[in-house]
């Protein structure tokens, strides 16, 4: 018989523990549209009633931090993940002097509003606000494989070891997502719109720290968030279904004073508050002014950036916007003319919008992919002007949450082929993000077997590190 596992589903400030196999937060939320209370009640009565649990769990789930007080400059993070690997030389590290074999037709970088900083010619909106962000031009790890490089940038660790380490979002969730006294029906870690799928975001820490992936398209007429918005069903129809199910649920009325039934009813109410109450309205972008939506860009990426800002306003701790279009081996330059204007509008408006609302100083924004792309253009057939995987050097944009703006960190060589000075490894960037959030980079992560695993790599692990980003913190 398969061993049953305990799954914690955060709802409001309590969690209901279920001894069940294969139930995720999304499945429970989806069940809310078809009788959440009845399903949960059946699980509790058949498999053993569970007591309500506070979001802060006993060991081994609770992460350990140093007792010394750490001052947090940031409260939340928005990660713009450009899956596939964006080119650094056409975006944040242009090399016009390298010649056409390297630049292709994109050979006219533009000045920004910070003297001495130039970026790619297809990023005019970002050029206007360079004082609000800094560029790391010396990111490096040397890995050219999508899966392994993505794992390194998202976890700071080397792939292939005994442990599968958690991504940054899961670690932030562990330390900041389930704090006592916080009441938020929306999960603390949200992905817009699809999980990356190249590795397990929560790693060894388990399902509690996995992100809630919305699915759907935020640029659609109605953003149908999976598990919250039922396709083809209005809020009124969902309310009517709930009322009819409640009237038919006579057993719950008879046993209403039973602790398991009371817990189930509380869970049902929380689920419906998220589905058809005020909490779920964070995903309704129609309440935003159309002029602002146009500034972000009326496309999936731009509206995902807008939704990310709304989620941060509602107290979500970590939001990842995943964009899966940057693996440009063939016909690279036509792809850049399609992709870069959307990136430019979405990210520039996000940073400006956060600043206008007083949120940028407490929200970290970081923009990069798993690596860069080959500086020398592959003109030969079948690539027709393509760029390939390149982990030797790439760029990352960071803004807000204690990161200074208007700065350049590190430098690549004249052709963008190697790090010239100040290498920055993934662990350096991740540790810097943790510090700004007030998370001790040497704190122990929650581990199911109580193994001692630090939030960032230790020298004993053999992971390359060059130091935190103190020059812009």
Bridge partners of 191, per DSSP, are: 213, 320
For the whole model, what pTM was predicted?
0.81
Residue appearing with tokens 């008879």: 254
Q: What residue has token string 């409260």? A: 75
- Confidence (pLDDT) at 430: 97
Query: 463: alpha, beta or left, given left = phi > 0 and alpha = psi -120 to 50?
Result: beta
pLDDT digits (tens, 9 = 90+) for 17-28: 333 333 344 444
Task: Give the span between the Cα atoms of 133 and 408, in whole angstroms.
Answer: 9
- Of all residues in the chain, the percent with pLDDT exceeding 90 is 64
3-state helix, strand, coil in the chain (%, to 5): 35, 15, 50
The set of residues, in sequence order, having a beta carbon less than 8 Å from that of 465 and lying 6+ positions away, is 425, 427, 428, 431, 457, 459
Which pLDDT value is given to residue 229?
65
Q: In whole angstroms, what is the distance from residue 222 CA to residue 454 CA?
A: 42
Separation between Cα atoms, residue 79 and residue 282, nearest integer Å:
18
Tokens standing for 407?
């700065």
Mean pLDDT of 212-237: 79
Q: Confidence class of residue 404 from pLDDT cuts 50, 70 and 90?
A: very high
For 321, phi then psi, to 5°, come to: -100, 110
- pLDDT at position 222 is 86
pLDDT at 98 over 80: yes
- pLDDT computed for residue 270 by the predictor: 54
Residue in the block written with tokens 């949960």: 40
At CB < 8 A and 24+ separation, what contacts does 194-198 make? 194/322, 194/324, 195/322, 196/81, 196/83, 196/150, 196/154, 196/320, 196/322, 198/83, 198/146, 198/147, 198/150, 198/151
Measured CA to CA, the distance from residue 66 to residue 441 in angstroms comes to 10
Per-residue pLDDT band for 38 (boundaries 50, 70, 90) equals: very low
Please, what is the Cα angle at 39 between 38 and 44, to 5 degrees? 95
Q: How far is CA 136 from the centre of its chain?
A: 19
Residue 256 has pLDDT above 90, yes or no: no
Determine phi and psi for 233, rounding to 5 degrees.
Answer: -130, 125
Alpha helical stretches, state H, 116-173: 124-127, 146-155, 168-172
- Do residues 360 and 354 touch, judged by C-beta distance below 8 A? yes
For residue 76, count other CB atoms closer than 10 A to its CB.
24
Q: Are the CB atoms for 213 and 194 separated by under 8 Å?
A: yes
List, in order of start, the domains of the chain with CATH numbers: 6-54+235-276 (no CATH), 76-220+287-472 (3.40.720.10)
Cα–Cα distance measured from residue 469 to residue 168, given in angstroms and rounded to the nearest whole number? 17
């Amino acid at each position: 018989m398969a061993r049953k596992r305990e799954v914690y589903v955060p709802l409001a400030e309590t969690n209901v523990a279920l001894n069940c196999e294969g139930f995720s937060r999304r499945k429970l939320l989806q069940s809310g549209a078809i009788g959440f209370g009845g399903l949960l009640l059946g699980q509790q009565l058949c498999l053993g009633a569970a007591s309500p649990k506070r979001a802060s769990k006993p060991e081994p789930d609770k992460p350990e931090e140093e007792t010394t007080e750490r001052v947090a400059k940031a409260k939340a993070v928005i990660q713009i993940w450009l899956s596939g690997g964006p080119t650094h030389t056409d975006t944040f590290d242009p090399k016009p002097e390298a010649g056409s074999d390297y630049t292709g037709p994109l050979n006219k970088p533009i000045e920004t509003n910070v003297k001495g900083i130039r970026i790619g010619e297809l990023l005019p909106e970002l050029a206007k606000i360079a004082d609000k962000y800094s560029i790391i031009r010396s990111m490096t790890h040397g890995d050219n494989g999508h899966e392994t490089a993505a794992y390194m940038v998202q976890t700071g660790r080397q792939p292939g070891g005994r442990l599968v380490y958690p991504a940054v979002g899961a670690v932030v969730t562990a330390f900041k997502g389930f704090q006592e006294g916080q009441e938020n029906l929306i999960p603390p870690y949200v992905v817009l719109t699809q999980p990356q799928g190249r590795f397990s975001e929560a790693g060894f820490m388990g399902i509690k720290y996995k992100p809630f992936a919305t699915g759907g398209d935020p640029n659609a007429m109605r953003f149908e968030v999976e598990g919250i918005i039922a396709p083809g069903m209005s809020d009124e129809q969902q309310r009517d279904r709930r009322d009819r199910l409640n009237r038919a649920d006579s057993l719950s009325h008879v046993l209403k004073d039973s602790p398991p039934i009371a817990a189930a009813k509380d869970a049902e109410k929380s689920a419906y508050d998220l589905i058809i109450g005020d909490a779920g309205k964070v995903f309704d972008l129609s309440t935003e002014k159309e002029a602002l939506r146009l500034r972000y860009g009326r496309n999936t990426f731009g509206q995902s950036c807008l939704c990310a800002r709304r989620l941060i306003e509602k107290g979500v701790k970590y939001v990842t916007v995943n964009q899966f279009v940057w693996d440009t081996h063939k016909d690279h330059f036509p792809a850049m003319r399609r992709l870069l204007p959307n990136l430019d509008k979405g990210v520039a408006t996000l940073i400006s919008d956060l600043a206008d609302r007083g949120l940028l100083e407490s929200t970290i924004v970081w923009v990069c992919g798993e690596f860069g792309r080959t500086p020398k253009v592959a003109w030969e057939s079948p690539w027709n002007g393509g760029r390939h995987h390149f982990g030797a050097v790439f760029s990352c944009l960071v803004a807000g949450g204690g990161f200074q703006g208007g700065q350049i960190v590190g430098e690549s060589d004249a052709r963008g082929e190697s790090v010239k000075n100040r290498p920055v490894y993934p662990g350096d960037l991740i540790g810097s993000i943790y510090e700004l959030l007030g998370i001790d980079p040497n704190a122990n992560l929650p581990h199911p077997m109580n193994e001692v695993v630090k939030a960032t790599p230790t020298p004993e692990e053999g992971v390359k590190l060059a130091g935190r980003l103190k020059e812009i913190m």
